Structure formats: structure tokens, C-alpha cells
Structure 1
Amino acid sequence: MSHTTRVRGGNRGHRMGKKVKKESETPCKETFEALPVEGKTPATVVLLLNSPEEDILIKACEAIHSFAEKGDENKVSLLGLGALEPLCQLISHNNKLVRRNAVMALGVMAVNGDVKTALKKIDVIPSIIDKLSLEEDTVVHEFATLCLASLSLDFVCKVQIFDNMGLPPLIQLLSSPDPDVNKNSLEIIFNLVQDYKCRMAVHELGGIPPLLELLKSDFPVIQHLALETLQNVTTDKDTRDTFREEQGFEKLMDILNNMDLSDLHADALHAVAAMSLHLASKERFRDLGGIPAVVQGLSSDSLKLREAATQALSNLTHNNHLCAFAVYEAGGDEVLVQQLYESCSRTVANAAATLGNMARQEVIRCSILTHGAIEALVEPLKSTDTQVLVNSTLCLAMLVCDTDARAELQNAGGLQPLVNLLRSYHKEVLHNACLAVNICASDEPTAVEMCKFGAMEMLQEINQSVNRKSISSELAMISLLNSNLSVKYSLTGHLASTDIVNDGFYDAGKARAGQRILTLEELSKQPVNQHRPIIVVNTTEELVSKAMGGAVEMEKLHEFPWVLHLSELKFQLQSNVIPIGMISRGIYCHRALLFKCLADCIGMSSTLVRGEYNRAWNEVLLFSEDSTSNGRFSPPCRYIVDLMHQPGSLLEANTPAAEQYQTI
């Protein structure tokens, strides 16, 4: 906002037909006869600033004020002629009129950048602050504050204004009857309260009531500034308490409910958003019925207002289920889903955050899903905006809690952009993406699809990194493996008794870390090769009717023709993928897989563990006959099942016999 703008003139007028003050109501400002400039150059007038005669000084200052008002060239010209230092001295002159005209001249000149730079080198701020005294007239207040408004954009000057006790008189001037004084004082305070110490001081000096009172101003520029300043100062508990005690939310509601003040709604909502990070403020605003008014802002034609409304709702619903329900009851969930299609990144990010907050309640989550939220989130998952990604991934994790939602995400093409986010090096984006992958992997079809897009390899890489590894990435990896047992067995070489093998499970052999395990469909399309066959479980082929060759003596294992048999099957099927039910001559790895499948079918606890050189075995837990001796249950014993040499024999784990079965 330009500091040269004055409220009167261009800013005084009608807004939406609303009556405002007329020019005649402006406080009267005395005028004086201008200095005759015939034959006198600006240089001569500047020299007159050193005159000992008060009448000359009065008219010289007035002439400089009039000359400076005509444009920046004149201001710079006066600076070059040395007008600045004598003016800085004359603002403290004993004569009231000299003082007033000097302040007017200095205030007009100070809005120029070059003049402002020169002023910073002169210790004039204490003298200007003195002019803010209530003993001075309104014109002095206007131009002294105009000068400080320009200087207060500079950090060093802000410190000087604060250190020289500039805030107390500025807060007093917020109640001035002159709108230009109000505006300039507000600008200075707004610039100062970017610093925490000044924000606290505004509250301690009683600045909240006059700031709230200025919300009723007839001038939009003042109302905007008051709202922006309130947004900055209401960051601590005491200030927020005062804001509520002074009926601040009621005043904001008056603005939000008045469509004639629609140009203020966005700024009002920014004040609501700032306050609503805190529980007491959320509750006060909700109790006043403010949430429907915010939801209404989501349907505005104004992009700025829609963005402000989503920000306010995001803060209001954060960790607050009552506000979430209030948004839901106002129909906000449906409109928020539409905001996910917005072009403004901040609006999308805020909408996703709000929907994520609301989705923690099951009834609201179901409603959000019916409005197409899953499909609407697909594009935000491809965004380059970090906050959009952070909020969208977390929102997605909140929504994909059921099978239908996960299937919808897969059908909408959302799995690939989600998996791609596992490449992110932004900690929060990666954390939320892992969280969403973890939940999505609850279904086998979704897990298989994510593996197709490289999720497993990415998670392996993440979990091997000291900096990127986290609990969420480990959980995502576990979830993905548990829902894709074929991949789990290839990577880890171990299936627990709780890992239930079903139709479609396949043994693709041991995989190297970082190697992508192809899907069964992809493996089936490969031409027949010389590698070991892929064994697939297919219970529709009368599975148990064909034995795998019976017992084979340890010494004659090398004579057992399993390799030739599997090669013949590959040639017969013209595929590297062989249904396990077709194998009639199988060894350790084939028999262990078949046993695991059968055990799972009947609900028997069994592991599947891969060893080296085509070895694999099953481990079962069994109670001994004397397990209840002395009235106590003994723990079960672990046994390896011999399926090769003495089928059905149980080899106690960690004994020489068991180790001989597991190794060559």
C-alpha cells in the first residue's frame, strides 16, 4: 500500500451505495498566503529557511511544501539544495505556525525514496515523535505520522521509533477524529508489529480496543489496515483474551454478515484464521455461528476470499471435531472438494488440510468420499508446490481407510503419483506419502499395483538411508510386503505362519536388494528361457492329486530328474511360469511351497523359509504330549518338516538333523 495515499480525496466516496463523510466534515485546516515566488528560485526559498524572521520561515516552509507536493523531481531537487536539515530543525521551532508548516513540508518530502534515505542519516525521529503530542494540532499529527509511516518501512527506523516511545502516542492517535491521522498511525503500527516485542507492547498499551473501533471506519483503507494489524497482534494468549473480551469476534461477524462490506471479508477471515489456531478462539467463533459465514466464502467469485476462507477453515478444524462437524453441517465438505480443482496452490493446500482434518470423523469421511474427493486429489498429488503435497498426501491417508476408497484411487490413476512421491527429499512430504502407501497397501491388488510402479525398490532405498529412513517408511515397507507375499518371499526368503498363501502366489526365486520383482502377468509374457522356472500356486488344478516324486534318498538326490522335468513343463507350456499342481518331480523348494499352501488351506500354522541352492523348508510349532505337566503349559517346540527324504518326519529345530536338511 502506497504511503503517499491520503484518505481524503481519491479514497473518500461511496462503497456499495453506503453514505460516508462529506468533504465539508473534514477538520478545518488553516491556510496562509503563499510566499511570492516571482523572481525567486527554489534555491532562494531554501536559503530563507535560515532566516531569523518567523514570518519568512512560515512562508518559506509553506512554499517548500507546495513545491514538493508537485512531484518527486521537486522533492529530489529540494534535497539537493539542502532543504532537509533546516526543515528537521524547524519542526521543533517555538513558533507554532513555523513548526506546523515545517512538518507539512518534511512529511511530503519523506515519501520520496531518496529523501527517506537521507533522513535515516539524521537523528530526526525523536523530534517527529514529539510532534505526536495531543498538544499539537491535527495537521501536525497528519504530516508527522506521514513522515514516520514512510520511515517505518526500514528496520533500523522501526527500532528507533519503538525505542523512542513512539507507540504510546501512535495508539492514542488511532482515536483521532482525522482519518488521515488514523491511516498513517495504523500504517506505522502495522509496520512495527512485524516484530514480536512491538506486538506485545501494542496490547500492553491498550491498543486492541481502538483497533477494533476502527473496523467501523467509513474508509475501506482504514478498515483493511485495522484488520491486517489485528491479524498480526493477536498471536499471544493475553492479546487473544482481550480481543474476545472486547467482542472482537462479534465485530468480525458484523463484517462477514454484511455483503456491503464484501471487500473486507478476505481480510476479516485472515484475522479469524490467525486467532483460530487456538482452542478458546475456535470455540468462541463457532459459538457465534461464524462457520457458516466462512463456508459461504468458499463460493465467492473472489479468488482472494476463497483462499482466505479455506485458510480459516483449515485452522478452525485443526484438532477440533466440533468445528469439523459445524463445517460439515454447513455443507462445507462438498464445496471444499471443489476447491481441490482450484488453480491457486494455497487454496488447494488449505482445502486439502481442512478435508484431512474433517475426515477423522467417520460420518464426515464417508460424505467427503461421496463428493469425489479421491479423484479430486489425484492432480494435487502431481503438484510442484510443497505445501500442496504435504496436505494432499495427509488428506489421502485419512480418506483411504476402506477397500472401496483404495479401489477408487487405483481406478482414478492416483497410485503412480503417490508412489512417485517416495522419491521426495522433503521430510514431511515423504512421511505423509509413506503413511498413505502404508494404508493403501492393506489391499493386495493395490499393493501389487504400487509394486509395479516401483514402490518396493524406493522403500528399500529409503530404509537403507540414514537421513530418509523413518518409522513411517518402515511401516509402509512391512505393509507392502504383507500384502504381496510373492514379493516378500523373494526379498526376505521367509513367510511367517501368519502369512497365508492363496491362489496366485508365485515363487520367482531369490531377489537382490533393490531388484524389482516382476508381476506374475509380466513373467507370463516373457519368452521361455534357461532360468529356473517360476512356480505358481493354482488350486483349481486338482492340486494334491499329483505327488512330487515321493521320497528321495539323500545320497541319490543328484539322480532325481527334477531339472529335466521342469524344463519339459516349460517347453510344454511355452512359459516360464509353471502351476505347482503340474509338478510331479519336485525338490525342497517346490515341496515346501506346496506344504505351506496346504497348511494355510486347513488353518495349520506353518512358515516358509528359503535357503541356498534350491533349499527351502517349513517350520511348524507343536506341543509335546507332556505339555501340561505340573499343571502348567509348556511352550510349543519348533520342528522342521522333512518333505524330501523321510516325508512326514519332524526334525527338531537347531539340531544336526535339521541343519543337514536345510543345507548342502
Structure 2
Amino acid sequence: MGKKVKKETETLSKDVFDPVRIESKKAATAVLMLSSPEEEVLAKACDAIHKYAEKGDENRGSLLGLGAVEALSHLISHEDKLVRRNAFMALGVMAANSDVKRLLKKLDAIPFIIKKLSPEEDVVVHEFATLCLASLSVDFSCKVQISEQGGLAPLLQLLSSPDPDVKKNSLETIYNLVQDLPSRAALRNLHGLPLLLELLRSEFPVIQQLALRTMVTVTMDRGTQVIFREEQGFDRLMEVLCNGEFSDLHVEALQVVSNCLEDVDSLQVIRETGGLQKLLQFVSSPTLPDIQMQAVKAICRVAQNSENYRLLHEQDIEKSLVELLSVESDSLRTSTCQAIAAVGVNLASKDAFRHLDGIRVIVQLLDSQGGEVRLAAAQALTCLTQGSQLNAYAVYEAEGDEGLVHQLQDLFPGAAAHAAAVLTNMAEQEVLRSSILSHGAMAALLEPLQSADVHTLVRATQVLSVLACDAEGRADLRNAGGLVPLVKLLRTNHKDVRLSACWAVSVCANDEPTAVEMCKLGALDALQEINDSTNRRNTFSETALQRLLNSNLSLKYSQTNMLASNDITADGFYDPGQARPGQRVLTLEDLSKQPAHQRRPVIVVNAKPPETRGKSKGRKEDEGKPQVEVTLATDPWVLPYDAAFHALVTEATKTIHPLLEEREQYSALARLVSEAMGGPVAEDSQHNFLWELHIGELRHELRSNVVPIGRIRKGTHCHRALLYKVLADRIGVSCSLVRGQYNRAWNEVLVRAGLPQFQMYQPITYLVDLIHQPGRLLRAKTPQAIRYQTI
């Protein structure tokens, strides 16, 4: 039996493998060990890889190349707790490497990581699983996947973990997730805000700060702001703000307060809890600029409530804000100017800032190096000068108009728009407007008028409208070339820009030179297109078109075939004939340069004698000197003088103007016109009145298609009606001019009729006969009048 026992022992020892102790100095060996079937080997290999990966990103990269990530991504789901824990430790550290993150995303490891966040899992697994998710959640696609896989709920549960590292890693991941709106809503629905508030009492500053940063993001949503108030969030924040030891948390805490103050009820809460006084204390007391900046931002929100504004004003908030402008911090100055803009909408604050000399300080900020400061300074001045002429004048006294004109060309987004807004407020005063123009405002507007930003375009056209309200401004605009971009804006597809451009054109069209120039640039065509459109037509476009035509009566008559009694013609008026649709009417100068042709002649009016130029007498010392041939520049085109028309004006002034009765004036002027243009013509012999031959001879004689009206000795309806109108305008006789078809034109006059004894009169419209029985008045719409108007 003994031998038998001994033989069984020998047989057993042959089946057992004696343990082998392995000491490896290569990471590759440890990675190979990750394929071992033995839990102990796997655990030790994972631990070795974890320690190696902790030494630096270069080591993590080399482990990636050896295939460690693929193996570890499988081991995090291993049955053995120790293997699973050590695998998570290794993978959590390696996930900090960008290439590792990309591979984990490709391997779809996120769902497996989230599963290990369950409460029954080891705390160490929680720590490194959340560390892994914190690294992955920086990537947008990973962030979306974590949310879609329901990762937010277990992460919120882990905020109650006893392990501070688990809390920290979970908070980092949550912070990354809530940068997207869906995750913010999910956090609110999962009641995550109370958990974040509880972490403000953590003994670890990093956790407190992460909790605050997360709250800064989630409280941007109105729904979360309400929950924050209901959960007594302000009480928790006041604990932080009133504790000087937590000064490193004050910036984020004030950001949360600022966000939540968008909620109207929260404004009441912060006033009741003494938060308003604390905010004012941060603003007025010397502290870190970042803390003051956030306090000032909160003040902006508080000031939007009238009751809160009253309390701020009573605490001299204006003085505190002006003092903050002297702090050497661009971010603080920017926030302060924004707060001044918010507070400055109130009349009391407008006056307070002026009395504190705050306007001069803000004007100085227009020269700052920082674009955001310049923008905010102009924004503050916009609010302070809105509806306050005294503040506008204060900006002028501080020489702010020059800086604002320069800022019109500022490339920083929005700076030019706010500068234009301030100048618009200032230009309402004539003295300030002249000063603004003297600094080259119209030339400076060229760039913003061509901006791609809609807000800038609207503001630029608005200030242009104010600056161009007088002849000086319009001349500057023409000389600077500003009409070109302005007219182009009429064709924009943006409604607000088109409205502002139409109004600017209507203002600029108040004088003839500007109106003529805009018509050359296509303003008339653009306005007609706008007014022909049901959707694009507006009151401003209609006004602009009417003013454009009123400033160029020649164009108006050509386009509308009518001049009203209040359309008073002057020297330089011409009749180019009825304009065809889409046809641009040429200027008189351009028409005069065309050779004579067989089409309808252009009739021009001018009674102004040419200016006589004095001839210089030769000096004796020049006698005997050799003559040098000098080439002179071509003289500019001048309007031809019409001596015959001048004589008709003189005669009408002497013989017709003294007449007292309206009818007598109308009839006498008609006879004068008829005599000047060939006398009466019987209805049945009009074909014998060879006016066309006479006009053709005139064009041949003048070698031009432009014919002075006084030279016409045989004129038909259109010529006589035109002469009647221009003579009537010279002597103060009221009449209109209407063009019909086939060379028909007539004049309409108003004759008072009624009962003089009761001083009751009613004007009646008559047509003036200039052809058949010159001086006869034909009541409008009667058969005789209709026959006179038609062939």
C-alpha cells in the first residue's frame, strides 16, 4: 500500500506546473500578458501598464502602438473584480492621449464604460471610469454618445460618492456635457441642480469651482433659473460671496447670480436677501478686476427692473461705475461701459453721468487699443445721448465727435455701428452736425455703407440721413462718392437696410444736383422696382421716389407726364419726351452732345443771360515778345441762353402780372403764348399748320436735337402748353401741365366760383385753349375739353 501511495504522489506532481516568476523590463511584454487566461497575470499586467502610462503622454502613445488599448477595452468587462479595476486604472490614465481617445471612440467603448458606473461597482472603478469619460467628453461626438447612452444620470448619482476624485471626474464630465442644450434640459429633468448646490459646501476647492462653472452654464436656461430660485440657490451663493476665504470662487458665483437675474422673480429674491447690497459692495470696493467685472455684469441685469434701478440710483451707482473706468483692465472697462449703457437709459442717470464728468472719461476710451473697449464705450455714449441734447453737447465738448468719425472706419465688429448711432444722436443739433462734417464724416461713411453686417448698414444709412439734411452735408456726400454705395443699398434683399436706404435717398433728394446724380446711378429705376412690388413697397420708398422726381422736374415730367401747380420750373428745365419703361432719361448735357436726328426734339428752357468775362488788356512790357502757342482746356458745357424766351418773360411780367382777375391772367397769357408760336389754328385746318417742318429746320440750323423754347415760332399743343407752364411759373400764375397722347398736352387752371357775398368759393378746373381760340377756358371733362385733349 505504501508503494501505491508513493506512485500516486509522483503521478500528481507531473500534472502540476510549477509557478514561474517573471520580471520584464519591456512594456511590450506587459501588453502580451494582457492576453493571458490567468486573472493574476492580467491584474499584474494592467497594474504595470497603469504605472507606466502615468509617467507621461509619450508612454501612452507607445502603449497604443503596442495594442494595449484594444486589450484593455475588453478587460474592463472582465469577470474578475481586480482585473476589471486595474484595467480601468490603466485605460483611465491612457484616455488622456488624443490618439487613444480616437481609438476608444472607434472601438465603441463608451457604452461599456457607462455600465460600470452602477452603485455596486468598486469605487476605484468609478474613479477611473469617470476619468476616462472626462477625457472623452471633450470630443463632440463622444459627448453626444455619452448623452444618448444615458450617461448623465449615473454621473449625477456619483456626485454623492464619498470619494472626492469620483466627484471631481464626474463633475468634469457633466460640465462638458452641459455645453449642449439637450444635456442642460436633461440635467434639469434629472434634478441635478440641487446636487450641484450641495457641492458648494465641499471641503475641496476644485470641486466647488467645478460645481460653480457647471451652474454658470446650466443657469443660462430660463427653466433652470426658476429651479435655482426655488431651491434657495441664492442663499448658497451668498454663503460663498460673503466668505472672504472663498474669493477664488467669487467670479463664478457672480456669473451664476448674473444669469439668474434674468428671471424677474429672482430680482425680488436678491433684493430681499441683501444680495443687491453685496453686489454694490463688490462694485465700489477695491478687489480683483475679474470679480468687479462679474459684479458689474450682474448690476446690468438688476438695473433692467425699475424698482431695482431706483435703489441703485439712491446708492450712487453712477459714481461707482465712473470710478471703475479708471481701473487698468480692458475687460472691466468693457463691462462697466455696458453697465453704463444699461443704467443710462434712465433720464436721472443721464444727468448724473454728465455731472460726474463720466462722458469725458468714456470719450477717452474711444482711443483704446482694445476693440471691445471701443465698442462698449460707443455703446454707452449711444444710450447717454439718446434723447439728451445736453449729453450730446458734452460729447462734442470732449471732442468726441472726431473720435467717433474715426471709429466709423473701425474694423472691430459692431464698433462702426455704435459710433454711427452716437453721431446720429449728436447730429440733431446744427452746430454739432457742422463739426461732425468738418471731420470728414461723409468720407468715413463709405466703408460702413459697404459693410456685410446688416446692423452696421442700418446705422450708417441713419446717420447719413441726419448729416445730409442740409446742402452742406449733401455736397460733402457727393464729393466723397457716398451716393454710389447708398444707391446700391436700394437693391438689397434685407428689409431694414432697404427701408433705411430709401429714407436716406429721400433726404438726399432735397436738392437738384444730388437728385440728378442719384438718377444717373440708377436710384430712380431701383425705387420704381421697389414701388412696383407689393411686398417691397413701403412709405419711405414712395416718399423717396416722389422727392427724387420733385427735385428733378424734367425727369418728373418725362416719367409721370404731369407737373402740378406747385412744381415750379426754373432755368435748365427741359422736356425730353415721354420716357419708355426701363429707359433712363439722359441729362441735358448728354443730350446736347448727341448729333441731330429724326426723333422727337428736346425742348429746353433758359432765360438766364450768360456771364460776361472781362478781357485782359495787354501790357506794354509784353509787346514785342515772341508769342507762345498755349493749348487751353476745353470749356465746360454751359446751358445755351434763350434771348427770345427772356423777352417773353419780360413781356409777360409787364402785361400779364399786373392783371387782377384770375381769368384775365389765364386768358391773356394764353394769347401771348399763341402769338409767340404761330397764332390761332382752326380745327379743320390743323393739317396745314406745318410745325414739324419748322422744328426740323431749327434742328438743322442749330445742328442739335436740343431746341430752345423761345426759338420755336410754330408750335403745336405740346410746345404751347410747355411755354404756358414755364411763363406762368415765372410770373406767379398757378397752372399745371399734363401730357396726353400723340403730341397732345394741355394746361389746367383753377377758377374760383361761388357766392362772394357769403365768401363761399369752390375751385373748378378748366383747360386753357392755346390753339383754336386762344384765351378760351374749357371746363374740364366737358365735350369741348375732351375734344381739345384728343385727336
Please say if 1:619 is aligned against 2:730: no
Q: Which residue is 2:711 aligned to?
A: 582
Q: Which residue is 2:781 aligned to?
A: 654
Mapping of residues 45-444 of structure 1, within 5 Å: 60=86, 63-64=89-90, 67-68=93-94, 70-74=96-100, 85=112, 89=116, 92=119, 107-108=134-135, 110-111=137-138, 116-132=143-159, 141-171=167-197, 180-181=206-207, 183-202=209-228, 210=237, 235=262, 246-247=279-280, 251-252=295-296, 253=321, 256-257=324-325, 259-266=327-334, 275=342, 294-311=362-379, 313-314=381-382, 328=396, 330-360=398-428, 364-444=432-512
SS in 1 for 2:584: coil
* CA displacement, residues 271-293 of structure 1 (integer Å, 9 cap, x when unaligned): 777x5797699869958876655
Which of 501, 512, 517 is the aligned partner of 1:449? Answer: 517
Which of 514, 523, 538 is the aligned partner of 2:591? Answer: 523
Which of 685, 701, 707 is the aligned partner of 1:572? Answer: 701
Which of 462, 468, 485 is the aligned partner of 2:553? Answer: 485
Q: TM-score, normalised by structure 2?
A: 0.68
Q: How many angstroms does 1:178 deviate by?
A: 5.7
Contact 2:330 2:373 in 1 (8 A): no
Q: How many angstroms does 1:559 deviate by?
A: 1.9
Q: Which runs of 5+ in 1 are unaligned?
A: 1-34
Please say if 1:603 is aligned against 2:732: yes
* CA displacement, residues 313-336 of structure 1 (integer Å, 9 cap, x when unaligned): 556666776775665565443222
Please say if 1:628 is aligned against 2:756: yes
* CA displacement, residues 325-372 of structure 1 (integer Å, 9 cap, x when unaligned): 665565443222111212344333333344334444555444433332
What is the distance in 1 between the residues matched to 2:428 and 2:577? 42
SS in 1 for 2:766: strand
What is the distance in 2 between the residues matched to 1:207 and 1:542? 92
SS in 2 for 1:604: coil
- CA 333–492 in structure 1, closer or farther in 2 if over 3 Å, else same: same
Contact 2:769 2:775 in 1 (8 A): yes
What is the distance in 2 between the residues matched to 1:595 and 1:556? 23
Q: How many angstroms does 1:457 deviate by?
A: 1.7
What is the distance in 2 between the residues matched to 1:468 and 1:226? 49
Contact 1:619 1:641 in 2 (8 A): yes
Q: How many angstroms does 1:535 deviate by?
A: 1.1
- CA 451–123 in structure 1, closer or farther in 2 if over 3 Å, else same: closer
* CA displacement, residues 128-151 of structure 1 (integer Å, 9 cap, x when unaligned): 334546x96765553332121111
* CA displacement, residues 458-485 of structure 1 (integer Å, 9 cap, x when unaligned): 2112211122211111111111111111
Q: How many angstroms does 1:591 deviate by?
A: 1.7
Q: How many angstroms does 1:497 deviate by?
A: 0.8
Q: TM-score, normalised by structure 1?
A: 0.80
Q: How many angstroms does 1:529 deviate by?
A: 0.8
Q: Report the AA paired with residue 766 of structure 2.
A: Y
Q: Which residue is 2:765 aligned to?
A: 638
What is the distance in 2 between the residues matched to 1:380 and 1:142? 49
Q: Which residue is 1:31 aligned to?
A: none
Contact 1:375 1:409 in 2 (8 A): yes
What is the distance in 2 between the residues matched to 1:186 and 1:292? 38
* CA displacement, residues 87-137 of structure 1 (integer Å, 9 cap, x when unaligned): 76557469988866765565455445565455324434234334546x967
SS in 2 for 1:123: coil
What is the distance in 2 between the residues matched to 1:549 and 1:99? 111
Contact 1:189 1:229 in 2 (8 A): yes
What is the distance in 2 between the residues matched to 1:612 and 1:81? 83
What is the distance in 2 between the residues matched to 1:337 and 1:131? 58
* CA displacement, residues 64-97 of structure 1 (integer Å, 9 cap, x when unaligned): 4872475234556778696975676557469988
What is the distance in 2 between the residues matched to 1:535 and 1:272? 62
Contact 1:588 1:617 in 2 (8 A): yes
Q: Which residue is 2:645 aligned to?
A: 543
Contact 2:93 2:131 in 1 (8 A): no
Q: Which residue is 1:593 aligned to?
A: 722
Q: Report the AA paired with residue 645 of structure 1.
A: H
What is the distance in 2 between the residues matched to 1:514 and 1:212? 74
Contact 1:276 1:316 in 2 (8 A): no
- CA 543–384 in structure 1, closer or farther in 2 if over 3 Å, else same: same
Further displaced range: 467-476 or 179-188 = 179-188
What is the distance in 1 between the residues matched to 2:340 and 2:196? 25
Contact 2:448 2:457 in 1 (8 A): yes
Further displaced range: 38-47 or 341-350 = 38-47
- CA 225–88 in structure 1, closer or farther in 2 if over 3 Å, else same: farther
Contact 1:93 1:99 in 2 (8 A): no
Contact 1:91 1:128 in 2 (8 A): no
Further displaced range: 188-197 or 568-577 = 188-197
Q: Report the AA paired with residue 574 of structure 1.
A: R
Q: Report the AA paired with residue 543 of structure 1.
A: F
* CA displacement, residues 508-563 of structure 1 (integer Å, 9 cap, x when unaligned): 11112332111111111111111121111112325263622222222232222322
- CA 478–109 in structure 1, closer or farther in 2 if over 3 Å, else same: closer
Q: Report the AA paired with residue 508 of structure 2.
A: C
What is the distance in 2 between the residues matched to 1:643 and 1:90? 103
What is the distance in 1 between the residues matched to 2:206 and 2:581? 71
Q: Report the AA paired with residue 643 of structure 1.
A: L
What is the distance in 2 between the residues matched to 1:141 and 1:431? 56
Contact 1:425 1:468 in 2 (8 A): no
SS in 1 for 2:554: helix
Further displaced range: 559-568 or 344-353 = 344-353
What is the distance in 2 between the residues matched to 1:433 and 1:175? 58
Q: Which runs of 5+ in 2 are unaligned?
A: 1-42, 51-70, 285-294, 297-320, 609-642, 649-675
SS in 1 for 2:445: helix
What is the distance in 2 between the residues matched to 1:226 and 1:101? 29
Q: How many angstroms does 1:416 deviate by?
A: 1.9
Contact 1:294 1:309 in 2 (8 A): yes
- CA 534–322 in structure 1, closer or farther in 2 if over 3 Å, else same: same
- CA 174–600 in structure 1, closer or farther in 2 if over 3 Å, else same: farther
- CA 51–515 in structure 1, closer or farther in 2 if over 3 Å, else same: same
Further displaced range: 359-368 or 597-606 = 359-368
